[in-house]
Amino acid sequence: KMPASIPEADRRHRASAAFSLSFLSLVFSITAFSSSYWCEGTRKVAKPFCKGDSKGDLCIRFNSPDGNGSQAVQYIWETGDDKFVEKRFHAGIWYSCEEMINEEGEKCRSFISLTPASDRGVLWLSIVAELLYVVLLLTGNILMSVEICYYSSVIDGLKINAFSAVVTVLAGLLGMVAHMMYTTVFQMTVNLGPEDWRPHTWDYGWSYGLAWTSFACCMAAAVTTINKYTKTILEFKHKRKKLERSFRIQYKFPDH
């Protein structure tokens, strides 16, 4: 006969695994949501004129007029692509930042203000879905931690387990929709956004990868939780059949 502690220990391990995955998903989602590295790239902008004695490749040099006023025409040496410089930028849900030429630091603007007016509604839906994603993940974490520390009947643990599974699945679906909506909005902003922002080259950044990693951890936590719930139900059914079988045997062959 199998000891009762083994299934209980197995349930504990599965609950701990689900909680760990859900907690990782929560940390990754909050980090990605608050960062501005969902997309990174470069912008091609015209070089400013060199001021004073400033020299270098980040400004346009021109010859100074001679002492006599007969040659006052300034000749620009840079032509074609030499007149442009590439500035790095990064953008997230909340704001977009780009480096400054010949100066330290970055200049940041609200990404919502850069989004075309026709797509701002989709961006706000994405923000609301991301917030709900974080809230549901936090709720699932609380439920899973209560289940781990709950030492009452297994039936009560099953109820908490079922509710946390539903919450985690809903969180994963919301997260997937939110990430996809933001991807669509960013691509529309690249095509229709302001001229002084449109990137020359761009790609997805580490925050975007972290957001999808959070989604993967969330779905893995949901699958682990559902698997634990299903296995516990099957164990109950198996024990019930064994109990019914033993009652039948006792009924057929009662002890004298």
pLDDT at 115: 92
β-pairing, 39-46 vs 95-99, is unpaired
pLDDT at 12: 75
pTM to 2 decimals? 0.75
Helix (H) or strand (E) holding 89, with range, is strand 84-91
Q: Given its phi and psi angles, is residue 255 left (phi above 0), alpha (psi -120 to 50 degrees) or beta?
A: beta
pLDDT at 67: 42
pLDDT digits (tens, 9 = 90+) for 191-210: 888 888 888 889 999 999 99
Delineate the domains of the chain, giving CATH numbers in brackets. Answer: 8-36+116-194+204-233 (1.20.140)
Question: If we measure between CA atoms, which residue out of 91, 84, 81, 148 comes closest to residue 114?
Answer: 91
pLDDT at 4: 44
Q: Which residues contact 154 (CB under 8 A, 6 or more apart)?
A: 232
pLDDT digits (tens, 9 = 90+) for 30-78: 999 999 899 998 887 766 656 655 555 556 555 554 444 444 444 444 4
pLDDT at 60: 57
Q: Is the dihedral of CA 130, 135, 136, 141 positive or negative?
A: positive
Q: Residue ranges of the chain with pLDDT lower than 50?
A: 1-6, 65-79
SS3 content of the chain, % helix, strand, coil (to 5): 60, 15, 25
pLDDT at 73: 44
Q: Which residues contact 42 (CB under 8 A, 6 or more apart)?
A: 86, 87, 88, 89, 199, 200, 201, 202
